[in-house]
Structure formats: C-alpha cells, structure tokens
Chains A and B, each alone.
Chain A
Amino acid sequence: MANKHYETPMLDELEKGPWPSFISGIKRLRDQHPDERIKGMANSLLGQLEHSYETRKGYWKGGTVSVFGYGSGIIPRFSEVGHAFPESKEFHTLRVQPPAGNYYTTDMLRQLAESWEKWGSGLITFHGQTGNIMFIGTDTDNTQHFFDEINEYGWDLGGAGPCVRTGMSCVGAARCEQSCLDEMRVHRTLLNNFTDDVHRPALPYKFKFKVSGCPNDCMNSIERSDFAIIGTWRDDMKVDQEAVKEYVAKKGRDYILDNVVNRCPTNALALREDDTLEVNNRDCVRCMHCLNVMPKALSPGDDKGATILIGGKRTLKIGDLMGTVIVPFMKLDTDEDYERLVELAEEVIDFWAENGLEHERCGEMIERIGLANFLEGIGVDVDPNMVVEPRNISYVRMDGWDEEAEKWFRRKAEEKAAAAAG
C-alpha cells in the first residue's frame, strides 16, 4: 500500500500559488522521508483528505485514548474510512503545553522533531487555537511512547475536555515596551497550580486562562478565556514631551490631531500650541491607542498591575460572551500578590465546579445566576467598574438597600483609612 500513491487531483490544486502549501509538506513526507511508516501515514492521510474534499465531509471520530496516569491531553482520532486508508486509521493528536510566551531554541525544536519522527506522523503545528503545540497524527501505542520520551526532557501535556486548559501569554516583558506584567510568571503560577485539573478532567466544561501584558490584549483574553489577566497601570502615563515634538515635526500637527487626539475615546488628550501633549489621566481609560501610535513618546506609568475579567467564551451554547471585570486592579509584585491571584482563581473554579451545569462555561453560569450572586459566591465586593451602566429596569426586589448602602460606605471608609495609614 505504501508504494501506491492515492490520486489527489483536488489537493494538488492547493500546491499552486505563492503561499507555502501544507499539501506540498505532507507530500514531502510521503515521497522523501526515509521511514516507510511515515511515508505510509502521509500517503494514507492525503488519500482520506482528498476523499473529504470530494465528498465535502469529515471522517474522523473521537474515542478514548490517554497516556498512563492522565485523563486528558490527547485528541483521539479514529478514521471512519480506515479500511480504505489503513495507514492513518488511528491519527491522534497530542496537545503539549508550550513555554509561556512560545519561546524555543532551534535546538529544542530539532529535539522535538526527532522524537516526533520516531513516534508520529511528522506533522506539527505551533500552535492550536487553545495554545498547545499540536503533534498531529499517531496511533494509540506511540502516543504513550512519544509522551514518555518528551516528558523526560521537560514537556507535559495540556488539557482537553472538561478541565483547565493550556494557557496563553503574549511576548510581553520579554520584548514589548507596553508590558505591565510579568506575563510568564502569571501564566506559570496559575497553570502549574492547577496541573491536576489540567490532566484529570473533572470540571463542568473547559476553563481557560490567558495573559496579556497590556490592554491591547494580543492574546484575545477577554473574548477567548474564562479568566483573563491583563496588565494595566493606575498612575499617570509617561509622556516624553521632546519625543512628542519629534512626532509632530515628522508627521505634522494635523496627523497627530486626527490620529491621536481625536481618536482618544474619552477626550483625555490635548495638543498644545508648543506641540506638547496634555493628558487628563483621570479620564484616561488605558485603551492604549495613543501609546500604540507614539510608542517612543508615551508609555505606561510605574504603578503597574492587572485587571481581571471572567467569563469570556465562544459561541456554544448561549452565544458569544466577553469576560466581565471582576477585579479592576490588583498589584502583582510580591509573592503575596501572586498568592491572592491563585486564591481568586481557586475560588472561581471551586464555585463554578459546584454550581455550573454539565457543559456550562463559567460565563454562562454567571449569565444564568446573575453577576451579583456570582460575586457573593466567590467573596468579591461589587464595584462600579464591573458595569458599563447601572440597571435600567425597576423589576428587582430591593428591600436590602439600606444594608447594602451601609456596606459601601463602610468599605469606602476602610479604604480611606488604609490609604491614610499606608
């Protein structure tokens, strides 16, 4: 069978054009790889994929495959048309957690490639939409062998199914001037606290952490994670007025007015006649636009920390949800700060694990029970930063008003006293 190539007239069309072709890549494995096993798998995979193109249907089915000790991390794939394409009839993917920030040496990539060459199909993706390295295509036995090998030199599986999933973090402090966080520390502190929940699915559904170093949110964390940690700052942004003048000199006043001042969503900027920029930091919402346009002149302040939003998810079941602000600002400097972050994540996951329905994301549970009940459940006080605007309907029972108002004043008094003492 390995000597006979399946005809692939439709896939061949995807070898045309200037963009690199994945079909050419799979054909290279089929035609040029010395290992008959890999050649055969690639040939068989191309055959099945061509069949999908012809019939406009997928032919993979799930199943149960895992490595010893784990219940998660493998995406099992058994072919429904395995009789016709036998050498790829089992084609499981291993989800492997990348380093926070997706850094690799070429040496490490080669080492992973060698292991995968021994046990897998030779197809890899950096990275899947959840953020895993996807080692695509191996059979049940080799799943274990491959994992055993790479696990010995520092790699572990990610999540799949109803569990804590692999996290994602941006390039951040390693190479970005906008970073307000130690993204790698946040990412690893959270994920590695929940290792057991990554490997052993026991939650209502998936739970994702994503970390972005600034409100540009390059990790799409508000829309794509249950628990988004986004860097921000609460003191004044830094303005290098000489650099502002350089931008004005280079681009012209009109450009700066049109593209910086007038694009500020809260009208917090003014360009003065002497070409300096005035910032109303009380009105600024840290949207990042002006910093993006003039990175040399404008920078985040020094009092950095994180905003945390909870409950983002994709379409199923009730429609797309964005995360909601649960913590407007928290410092992330000391070990104690990180402990508080982990405690919050544990509170959220514990409450959701107890109260979420089967296959209900955290955000959907919040939608069902209401944010106020969720906050009470995780022990977080209400804050006006959590809403775009207060309620606009009178249909609510409010006989606890006096008590709630008292709570607010007491909390404000305590905050004032703490600020005075600190």
Chain B
Amino acid sequence: MALHTEHRAPIESGCPDGLQYMHPLMRKHYGNWAYHEDPRPGVLVHVAKNGEKIWTVRAGTQRILDLFTLRKLCEIGDEYGDGYVRFTLRSNIEYMVADEAKVEPLIKALEDAGFVVGGTKNSVTMISHTQGWLHCDIPGTDASGVVKAMMDELYEEFKSWNMPNRVHITTSCCQINCGGQGDIAINVQHTKPPKINHDLVANVCERPSVVARCPVAAIRPALVNGKPSLEVDEKKCICCGACYPPCPPMQINDAEHTKLAIWVGGNHSNARGRPTFHKLVAAGIPNNPPRWPEATAIVKRILEVYREDAKDWERINDWIERIGWPRFFEKTGLPFTKYHINNWLGARRSLNASTHIRF
C-alpha cells in the first residue's frame, strides 16, 4: 500500500478523441465531403455535400521540432489560420481554414518563417524517416541529416507539380527499415559481419535469443578464450545486423563498411496495381556525412529520368513495369549486378520465365 501513496496511478485513457481538436467545419461535415480540388501546390480545397468549403495549407518542416519552431507554427496558426492543425503521415503540418481569403496570407507567413509550402499531389513530398544518430540505439547513419541534405536539393520539387505522379521517398538507418517502403528508399546496407566483443557477450546478451534472431542461422554459441560467447559463420552471414539490437557487443556498424543502398518502386496504394515492395537498384554508396552527396546524386538522377520518361499518373513502379528493368538501368546509367538477382525465399517468382523481352 505504501507504493500507492508514493506514486500516482496512471489514467489509462489510451487514444484521445480527435473530435475535440478538430476544425468545426470538419466536425460539421464529418463523412459528408463531396470532392476536392487542388488550386496550387500545397493547397487543397475540400467541398462538402452542402457546398461549404475548407482550405488546407500543407507545409514541410524539419520534423525534429524545437520549442521555438513548434511555437512559431502555433503562432502562425493563430494569427493567419483558425487555430486548427494536423500532421500528415510524412510529418507535414496542415492548417485548415474556412475562409479562402486566409490562404494567401497563411502561405506567406509560413514561407516568411522558413517553412516550405507544398508536398501535395504529384510533388516530391517530405521524406519519411527514422531517428538515426540523434536517438536510435542501432543506427548505421543519421536520418534527419540525410533528409535535410536531400530535401535541400529537392526543395523545388516539394513546391511544384513536376512529377508524373506523387513521389514518396523514405530513409532507414538500418536494415530493419523503419522508414518503410518508398517510391525511392535510401537505406543502410551493411557489408561486413559483426565484430564481436567476446568479453561482453555473456554478460550482456541472452544468447539463445540472439541465435534465434539470425535469419540465416549463422550464429551459434561458442566458448571463446574460455568465456561463453557467440560466433558467426562469416560465409553464411548476410550482414543484416539483426543480431546487433539484442546483443550490442555484436557491433555491425562500421565507419567504412556500412554503406547506403537505394531501392525503388515501393508503393502502398492499391490504385491501379496491388501494393508493391521496393527493389534494389544501387548499393555500395558511401555513408558520407554531413551531406551524403553521392546518395543524393543518385536519387536526383532517378527522379530526372522518371520525370522525363513516365506518363501521367504512373508511379515509379508503374513506370518501370511499362518500360522494363533493362531500360531502367540503361536510362539511369546504374550498373546491373549479380546482387540484383534475388536469392531469398520465393526468389524464382522474380525471375523472367518467359520470352517477354524488350528490344
């Protein structure tokens, strides 16, 4: 009972009701919207079945918000908006206003404060990303830094509608890939097996769980220098890093051998085809802080070819399905290697068992 006087018991309220924070027009027309239009990049207008309209202004931010930035966003919302905001899946902020006259001043206020209005429709929207060196316990690279450096280069694409369809880019700092599937994904790819600190394994790691964690059964218990530890069959090891989170003495990150790989054609939507996973197109890219220019250059090259070659409404996966992978590699100038050929479970489904060849 003593505990109860010392500690406050939590109120297990769970997920809060969004209605209390929702713009009154959105509450009023909940489930009763007729259609929307896109008056300009970064702005949506939704029309309710009774004809009433609500305007949304979307802006990109640095995602890791400091108090000054968050308060600035609130200030803009109070002065130029209606005091109601939401955040998209890709961490863009959206301001909803009931009066069209507020739209232009709101855009100006956001841009004057350094935020970037855009990210709607067939733009390159904000890169969805993970924590990286700022906070994660297993990262091979930084996330916010990669994204900042890349969005500097894609700034105009965020603000405009130059692309055949929307482009969702993601980044991940390890091969668990928390950033998720993307039209283009820039992900860490380790190239060497973990370096094991055998003095620490027995004390830090629950060895059977670590053995079980390996996707290719390359880890086994071993006595090293008389101490219980783990050893890795380096011929089997796929350098995925799955053993590192449950066993930090199995260091997978390496200043030189942790690289970046680029994947394309991931698409979550059911529009046209079924959802797709992204596929490997480039690897061996240096993990080169603070601005990762090599990775950005490849992303920009892929985007340029896509913009020129794809037809309206084709996402990157739709476009490559039409032109074929050989032409993708030809047009982007990226090398096709033995590493592009899948050898994981179900790999045969990805091989060409036909005479369908483009000449």
Contact = CB atoms under 8 A, between A and B. Distances in A.
Contacts of B255: 55-57
B12 A199 contact: yes
Nearest to A255: B312
Interface stretch (B98-106, B173-181, B222-230, B326-334): B173-181
Interface in A107-140: 107-110, 113, 116-117, 122-129, 136-137
B184 interface: no
Interface in B188-226: 209, 212-213, 215
Contacts of A219: 89
A245 to B, nearest CB: 15
Interface in B50-77: 54, 56, 60-71, 73-75, 77
Nearest to A60: B137
A166 B16 CA distance: 11
B258 A56 contact: yes
A60 B248 CA distance: 11
A139 to B, nearest CB: 14
Most buried by B among A104, A216, A289, A299: A104
Contact of A259 (B15, B23, B312): B312
Give the bracket for the number of chain B residues in contact with chain A: 35 or more
Given A16-B152, A295-B36, A359-B213, A58 B136 contact: yes
B313 A259 contact: yes
Interface stretch (B142-150, B301-309, B351-359): B142-150
Given A16-B152, A69-B7, A106 B74 contact: yes
Interface in B290-329: 290-291, 311-313
Interface in A140-197: 147-148, 151-152, 154-157, 166-168, 170-171, 173-177, 179, 182, 184, 187-188, 191-192, 195-196
A10 B21 contact: no
Q: Which 4 A-B pairs have the closest CB atoms?
A: A17-B152, A99-B18, A25-B66, A52-B133
Interface of A: 10-11, 13-14, 16-26, 28-29, 32-33, 42, 45, 49, 52-53, 55-62, 67-70, 75, 77, 91, 93, 97-110, 113, 116-117, 122-129, 136-137, 147-148, 151-152, 154-157, 166-168, 170-171, 173-177, 179, 182, 184, 187-188, 191-192, 195-196, 198-199, 215-220, 222-224, 255, 258-259, 263, 265, 285-289, 292-293, 295-296, 299, 314-320, 322, 357-359
Given A60-B135, A104-B85, A217-B275, 17 more contacts: A28-B68, A53-B145, A55-B255, A60-B137, A102-B87, A103-B18, A103-B21, A105-B84, A108-B21, A148-B8, A156-B11, A157-B10, A175-B56, A179-B31, A184-B18, A223-B268, A322-B277
